[in-house]
Structure 1
Amino acid sequence: MKKSLVAVGIIVALGVVWTGGSWYTGKQLEGRLADMVAQANAQLASNAPEAGIQLAYQDYQRGVFSSHLQMVVKPADGAKSSWLKPGQTVVLDENVSHGPFPLASLKSFNLAPAMATVNSQLVNNDATKQLFELAKGQSPFDINTRISYAGDTRSDINLKPLNYEKGEEKVAFSGGDFKLDADKDGNVFSLNGSVESGVINAVNEYNQKVQLTFNNLKTEGDSKLTSFAERIGNQKVTLDKVAVGVEGKELALLEGMTLDGKSDLSKDGKTINTSLDYTLDSLKLQGQDMGSSKLALKVGQIDGQSWHQFSQQYNGEVQALLAQPGIMDNPEVYQQKVTEAFFSALPLLLKGEPVITIAPLSWKNSKGETTFNLSLFLKDPSTATVAPQTLAQEVDRSVKSLDSKLVIPMDMATEFMTQVARLEGYQPAEAEKLASQQVKGLAAMGQMFRITTQQDNNIQTSMQYSNGQVTLNGQKMPLADFVGMFGVPDVAIPAPQGNAAPAQEGQSAQPPADFPEAPVDSPD
C-alpha cells in the first residue's frame, strides 16, 4: 500500500512539474514572439526591400500544454509596391506544443527536452487558393519546427506532391524534403534537401504545347553573418536533368548541372574571398550533342566594410525607387534605374583592390576544348590624386593589371558549327562544309584585324594591360592605339569642377597613332 502511494505521489509530482514547465515555456515563448517577428521584418527590409511585405501574428491562444496562433504575411506599412495586392495576405496556421517534453515530439519518440515544437500549415484564402487546387485541397507543405531553450531551431520541411490538370495545362511535382537549422538570432543557418522530379505542361503564345521536366534537384548550404553585417557561406545546387519539349519533340536536354558557390573571410576578418564553380556535363539541342561547359570564377580581397556600404547604398536607392508612384507600371524603366543604382554604388567595392580570376571558362566537345582565362587586378579609384585627362588615365584609376587568353581549337569550332548548321536544316555533308568555311573565315578575319593568331591549328588571342600599355598577341602599344584599332578615339576627359585635383603637366589627350599593317595569312 505504501509503495503504491509513493508511486502515485511520484507520478503526481512529475505531472505537476511537467504541467508547470509546459505553462512556463508556453509563457516564455509568447514573450519571444514579438522579438522574433521584429527580427524577421528587419531581415526582409534589408535583404528584399523590393518585396514590400512584412510579418505579423494574430489570434494567439495559450493553453497549458499547447498554444495556437497565426503568422500573417501582408503588404508592408507604407510600401508603394508589394508582391501582395492591397488587403491580400498569406496566413500560416501554427500549432505549438509546449516543452519541456512537447507532446508532438513524444509521438515521434523524441525524448530530448525542448522549449516547444511548432507545426505550420498554409491557410486557404484568396492569395493561396491556386496552391490548394494543385494540392487537392490540402496545405501544399507541412513544417515541423523544434525550438530549443537556447532559442535555436530545426525545421523539417515537407513539400507535398502536386498534381493538377486543366485542359492542356498540367503540373506534376513529386514533393521534397528539406531541413533548415538556424541559431536564435538568425545569424547562422543551413539548408539541405532534395526534390525528385517535376513536370510542367503549358501552351505558349504560338499555341504550341510546351513541356518542362526536371529530375533530382539537390541543395546544401550554410550561411553566417559577419561582423560587418553581411553574409558569407557555402551553397551547392545540383540538378541531374532538365528537358524542354515542344509539340512532343525534345528541344533541349541539359544533364549534370552543378553550381557550387563559396565565400569566406580572410584571416584578419576584414576581407571576403568568393568562388563560383559551374559545370554542365551535356547539352543536347534537338538530339544534337553540343558538348559540355564549366566555369571557375574567383573574386578575392573584397573589403568587408565596403561591401556593407555598397549593400546599404544600393538597397537604399532601390527602396527610394520603389517609393516613387507608378514605377512598377513600367518594368523597363524600373530595371534601368536599378542597374544605374548598382553601378553608382559599384566603386565602393574597389576599396579593397579586389582580384578577379577566371580559370577557366570553357566549352568542350568531341573534337577539343575552347578555353578562356582571365586575371584582373583592380585598384581603389578613391586613392588617385590626379584627375584623369585621357582614357588611359581613367582606366589606370581602377585597373592595376589585366592578363587574358582565349584558345579555340579549329576542329572543335568546326564540329560545333557543324551541329549548329544541322539544327538549321543542313544535311551532314553540307553542314560540315559550311562550318569549315565559317571557321576558316573567322580565323582569317581575326588575323586581318590583328585580333587573333593561328598556332597548332588553334585560333588564339592574348592580351595584357598595365600602366596604360596593352600587349596584344605579343605586340605592345599604348591603350590609345589599341582602342583606335576599333575606330574609337582617345577622347580627352574634361577636368571635374570644384576641389578635384588638377591634371599633371604634359598629360593631355593624344591622337591615336596609325597602327601598322601586317601581312594576312591565307586561309587553309
Structure 2
Amino acid sequence: MKKSLVAVGVIVALGVVWTGTAWYTGKQLEGRMAEMVGNANAVLKKASPEAGLTLSYQDYHRGLFHSSMQLVIKPTAGMTSAILKPDQSIVFNEIIDHGPFPFAQLKKFNLLPSMASVHTTLVNNPTTKPLFDITKGLSFIDAQTRIGYSGDTSSDIDLLPLDYVKGEEKVAFSGGQFKADVDGKGDKISIRGEAQSGLVNTSNEYGQHVQMTFNGIKTEGDSSRSEFIERIGSQKASIEKLAISVEGKEMAVVEGLSINAKSELQEDKKHLSGQIDYTLNSLKVQNQDIGSGKLTLKIGNLDGAAVQEFSNKYNAESQKLLADPATAQNPEAYQQQIVELFAANLPLLLKGDPVITVAPLSWKNAKGESSFNLSLFLKDPALTTTEPTTPEEQLNRVVKSLDSKLVIPVDMATAFMTQVAQLEGYQPAEAAKLAEQQIKGLAAMGQMFRVTTMEDNKVVSSLQYANGQVTLNGQKMPLSDLLGMFGMPGIDDQSAPAPELEAPATPATPAVPQQ
C-alpha cells in the first residue's frame, strides 16, 4: 500500500514538474521569438538583399503544453521583391509543443530534453493556391523542428510527392527529404537532402509539348559565420540525370552534373580563399554524345577586410536600386547598373593581391580532350600612385604575372564541329567535310597571326606575362608589340596605326615562330 502511494506521489510530482516546465519553456520561447525573427531577417538582408523579403510572425497563442503562431514572408516595404509582388505573401502555420519532452519528439523516441518541438506546414492563400491545387489541398512542405535550450535547432523537412494532371499539363514528383541543423547563435549551419525524381509536361510559347525529367538530386553543405563575409564553408550539389524533350523528341540529356564549392580562412586568418569544381560526365544533344567537361576555379589571397567592405557597399547600393521603382521595374536598366556597381567596387577585391587559377577548363569527346589552364597573380592598383602612360604601366598596375596555355587536338575539334554541323541539318558526309575545312582554316589563321602553333596534330597557344614582358608561344616581345598584332594602340598613342603583320608566303603552310 505504501509503495503504491509512493509511486502515485512520484508520478504526481513528475506531472507537476513537467507541467511547470512546459509552461516555463513556452513562455521563454515566446520571449525569444522576436529576437529569433530579427536575427533571421538580419541574415536574409545581408545574404540576399536582392530578394527584397522580410520575415515576421503573427497570431501567437500560448497554451500550457502547446502554442501556435504564423510565420509570414512578405516583400520588404519600399522595395521591389524579385520573388513576390507587393500584395503577395507566403504564410506558415507553426504548432509548438513545449518542452522538456515535447509530445511530437516522444513519438519519434527522442528522449533528449528540449525547449520545444515545432510542426510547420504551408498555409493555403492566394499566393500558394496553385501549389495546393496540385497537391489536392495538402501542404507541400511538412517540417518538424527540435529547439534545444541552447537555441540549437534541428529540422526534418519533407516535400510532399506530387501527381497532377490537367489536360496536356502534368507534374510528378517523388518527394524529397532534407535535414537542417543550426546552432543557437546561427553561426553554424548544416543542410543535406535529396529528391529521387520529377517530371514536368507543359507547352512552350510556340505551342510545342515540352517534357523535362530529372533523377537523383542531392545536396550537402556545412557553413559557419565569418568575420569578413557572411558565411564560409562547403556546399555540394549533384544531379544524376536531366532530360529535355520537345514533341516527343529527345533534345538534350545531362548526366552526372555536380558542383562542389568551398571557401575558407587562410592560415593568417586575414585572407580568404575559395574553390569551385564543376563536373559533367555526359552531354547528349539529339542523341549525339557531345562529350564531358570539367572546370576547377580557385581564388586565393583575398583580403578579408576588403571583401567585407566590398560586400557592404555592394549590398547597400543594390538595395537602393531595388528601392527605386523606376529601376526595379526595368530589368535591363537594373542589370546594367548592377554591372556598373560591381565594376566600380572591384578594385577593393584587389587589395590582398589575389591569385586566380583555372586548372583546368576541359572538354573531352571520343577523339581527344581540349584543355585551358590559367594562373593569374593580381595586385592592388592603389599602390601605384603615378598615372600610367604606357600599356606596360597600365597592365602592371593590376597584374603581377600571367601564365596560360590552350591545347585543342585537331581530331577532337573536327569531331565536335561535325556534330554541330549535323545538328544544324547537314548530312554526316557533308558535316564531316565542312568541319575539316573549318578546323584547318582556323588553325592556319591562328598560325598566320602567330597566336597558335601546331604540335603533334594539336592547336596550341601559350601566353606568359610579367614585368611588361610577353612570351607568346615561346617568342618574347614587349607588350606593345602584342597589342599591335591585334591592331590595338598603346595608351600613349591612341591614334597610332597598328603595325603590319608579315604574312607567310603560303597560307596552307604558315610560318611558325621559333621555339
Fold conserved (TM > 0.5)? yes
Show CA shifts across 1:165-215 (max 9, x none).
222222211110000010112111011000111111121121111111111
SS at match of 1:199: strand
Partner residue of 1:119?
119
Q: How does 1:134-153 map to 2 (within 5 A)?
A: 134-153=134-153
**1:492 is the counterpart of 2:492:** yes
**1:453 is the counterpart of 2:423:** no
Partner residue of 1:263?
263
Q: How does 1:206-285 map to 2 (within 5 A)?
A: 206-285=206-285
Show CA shifts across 1:456-482 (max 9, x none).
100010001112222111112222221
- Structure 1 position 136, deviation (Å): 1.2
**1:432 is the counterpart of 2:432:** yes
Does the 8 A contact of 2:373 with 2:405 survive in 1?
Answer: yes
**1:522 is the counterpart of 2:504:** no
Partner residue of 1:192?
192
Q: Is the alpha carbon distance of 1:493 and 1:348 closer, same or farther for their aligned partners in structure 2, counting shifts above 3 Å?
A: farther
Equivalent pairs: percent with the same residue? Answer: 60
- Structure 1 position 40, deviation (Å): 1.0
Q: How does 1:98-497 map to 2 (within 5 A)?
A: 98-492=98-492
Partner residue of 1:505?
none
Opposite residue 125 of structure 1, the aligned amino acid is N
Partner residue of 1:4?
4
Q: Is the alpha carbon distance of 1:81 and 1:361 closer, same or farther for their aligned partners in structure 2, counting shifts above 3 Å?
A: closer
Partner residue of 2:513?
none
- Structure 1 position 18, deviation (Å): 0.5
Opposite residue 372 of structure 2, the aligned amino acid is F
Partner residue of 1:85?
85
CA distance in 2, matches of 1:172, 1:329: 34
**Greater CA deviation, 90-99 or 475-484?**
475-484
TM-score (norm 1): 0.94
CA distance in 2, matches of 1:240, 1:425: 30
Opposite residue 87 of structure 1, the aligned amino acid is D
- Structure 1 position 85, deviation (Å): 2.4
- Structure 1 position 523, deviation (Å): 5.7
Does the 8 A contact of 1:239 with 1:256 survive in 2?
Answer: yes
Show CA shifts across 1:437-492 (max 9, x none).
11111111111111111111000100011122221111122222212212221133
CA distance in 1, matches of 2:435, 2:83: 48
CA distance in 1, matches of 2:506, 2:215: 51
CA distance in 1, matches of 2:506, 2:309: 51
CA distance in 2, matches of 1:85, 1:252: 34
Does the 8 A contact of 2:80 with 2:86 survive in 1?
Answer: no
- Structure 1 position 385, deviation (Å): 2.2
CA distance in 1, matches of 2:90, 2:71: 8
Does the 8 A contact of 1:81 with 1:323 survive in 2?
Answer: no
CA distance in 1, matches of 2:509, 2:175: 57
Opposite residue 118 of structure 2, the aligned amino acid is V
CA distance in 2, matches of 1:481, 1:120: 66
Partner residue of 2:65?
65
Structure 1 gaps of 5+ residues are 495-508
SS at match of 2:32: helix
SS at match of 1:151: coil
SS at match of 1:242: strand
SS at match of 2:325: coil
Does the 8 A contact of 2:197 with 2:216 survive in 1?
Answer: yes
Partner residue of 1:501?
none
Does the 8 A contact of 1:396 with 1:468 survive in 2?
Answer: yes
Does the 8 A contact of 2:485 with 2:498 survive in 1?
Answer: no
**Aligned-residue CA RMSD (Å):** 1.7
Partner residue of 2:51?
51
Does the 8 A contact of 1:490 with 1:512 survive in 2?
Answer: no
SS at match of 1:185: coil
- Structure 1 position 254, deviation (Å): 0.7
Partner residue of 2:21?
21
Q: Is the alpha carbon distance of 1:431 and 1:84 closer, same or farther for their aligned partners in structure 2, counting shifts above 3 Å?
A: closer
- Structure 1 position 328, deviation (Å): 2.2
CA distance in 1, matches of 2:222, 2:162: 28
CA distance in 1, matches of 2:199, 2:80: 36
- Structure 1 position 80, deviation (Å): 4.8
CA distance in 2, matches of 1:42, 1:522: 64
**Greater CA deviation, 39-48 or 116-125?**
39-48
Show CA shifts across 1:249-274 (max 9, x none).
00001111111111111112111111
CA distance in 1, matches of 2:202, 2:487: 48
Q: Which runs of 4+ in 1 moved over 4 A?
A: 509-521
**Greater CA deviation, 151-160 or 40-49?**
40-49
**Greater CA deviation, 219-228 or 71-80?**
71-80
CA distance in 2, matches of 1:72, 1:407: 54
CA distance in 2, matches of 1:374, 1:32: 51
CA distance in 2, matches of 1:517, 1:437: 20
Does the 8 A contact of 2:229 with 2:307 survive in 1?
Answer: no
CA distance in 1, matches of 2:153, 2:51: 25
Q: Is the alpha carbon distance of 1:82 and 1:375 closer, same or farther for their aligned partners in structure 2, counting shifts above 3 Å?
A: closer
Opposite residue 481 of structure 1, the aligned amino acid is D
Equivalenced residue count is 510
Does the 8 A contact of 1:281 with 1:292 survive in 2?
Answer: yes
Structure 2 gaps of 5+ residues are 511-515
CA distance in 1, matches of 2:80, 2:412: 53
**Greater CA deviation, 50-59 or 484-493?**
484-493
CA distance in 1, matches of 2:133, 2:467: 64
SS at match of 1:326: helix
CA distance in 1, matches of 2:102, 2:481: 75
CA distance in 2, matches of 1:44, 1:191: 17
- Structure 1 position 243, deviation (Å): 0.6
CA distance in 2, matches of 1:4, 1:451: 96
Opposite residue 508 of structure 2, the aligned amino acid is S
